[in-house]
Amino acid sequence: MIGVFDSGLGGLSVLAALVDALPQADFIYFADTAHVPYGDKSDAQIQARVLDIGSHLVEIGCKLLVVACNTATATAVEALRQAHPGIPVVGVEPGIKPAAQTSVSRRIAVLTTEATAKSARLAHLIRIHAADVEVFIEPCPGWATKVEQLNLNDPTLINDVRQRVQPLLDQGVDRLVLGCTHYSFLSPHLRALAGTHATLVDVAEAVARQTRRLAGSLAQGHGKLLLEASAHPEKLHAALDRLHLSRLATRAV
């Protein structure tokens, strides 16, 4: 079984890509809904949650873990790897590299949670992959919470998305990196704003390909999906329809 987790619903965007890449694999998705959002938590708080969830998933039989959360990856993926040396761990990091490689204007922006924005890991990614590109880091407080509430078309949210993204486009940014898995569900708003000026960069499919490379015999299961949450698990099932992921619901046991 492959364990996939996030603070809440955001990682479902990664899970969808994983299921497409590994249709026969068995997955468990854990949403830490009792502690969402992670973006405004301290490193120590995020690390404690990640280690707890990792141990739980390994105890119930997961042989590979996917941290479907940029914030958890930035803060705690190394601690998780150290805690479970025998288990491959795939993290999710903002697509700074593909954005920098393809940007024509040589200006890119990364939309993230507050915790990821100030992480040393993001600074390192930028240093090694985007040294010759101007990178705008845009923390987007509140966006993940709106996605959690399934308030995707909330006018306040749409307005906030415009207020944060339009100035970046005005400065000539032509790649908008989705640096939080929740933001995939805001893609329609972001795409409408970006128009022909900028392209969204989402790494879900790259993460799925990397997971497939590491999956070995885990690729051959029964195509089952188990959904777990630390609070309100029933909301997780209900959210699948609202997020246009009913194809995942049909696998859920």
Catalytic machinery residues: 69, 180
Q: By rule CB under 6 A, what string of x and - marks binding of each residue 217-236 to ligand DGL?
A: --------------------
| Alpha-carbon distances of 77 from 65, 71, 154, 229, rounded to whole Å | 10, 10, 33, 20
Structure tokens at 56: 């739980």
Sequence-separated (6 or more) residues with CB below 8 Å from residue 72: 5, 6, 7, 38, 46, 49, 50, 91
* 3-class SS of residue 68: coil
Tell which one of 57, 180, 200, 236 touches ligand DGL (CB under 6 A): 180
Tell which one of 12, 28, 33, 39 touches ligand DGL (CB under 6 A): 39
**In the bound complex, what is the minimum distance in angstroms from residue 216's beta carbon to ligand DGL?**
26
Return the number of other C-beta atoms located less than 10 Å from residue 170's C-beta: 9
H or E element, residue 233: helix 233-242
Stretch that binds ligand DGL, among 22-30, 162-170, 180-188, 205-213 (CB under 6 A): 180-188
**In the bound complex, what is the minimum distance in angstroms from residue 208's beta carbon to ligand DGL?**
15
Site size toward ligand DGL (CB under 6 A) is: 16
The interface with ligand DGL within residues 57-96 (CB under 6 A) comprises 69-71
Sequence-separated (6 or more) residues with CB below 8 Å from residue 26: 1, 2, 218, 221, 222, 223, 224, 225, 226
Tell which one of 2, 5, 6, 190 touches ligand DGL (CB under 6 A): 6
Nearest Cα to Cα of residue 183 among 200, 205, 162, 171 = 200
Is 184 a residue that touches ligand DGL (CB under 6 A)? no
Is 181 a residue that touches ligand DGL (CB under 6 A)? yes
- Site residues for ligand DGL per CB under 6 A: 6-7, 10, 36-39, 69-71, 113, 116, 144, 180-182
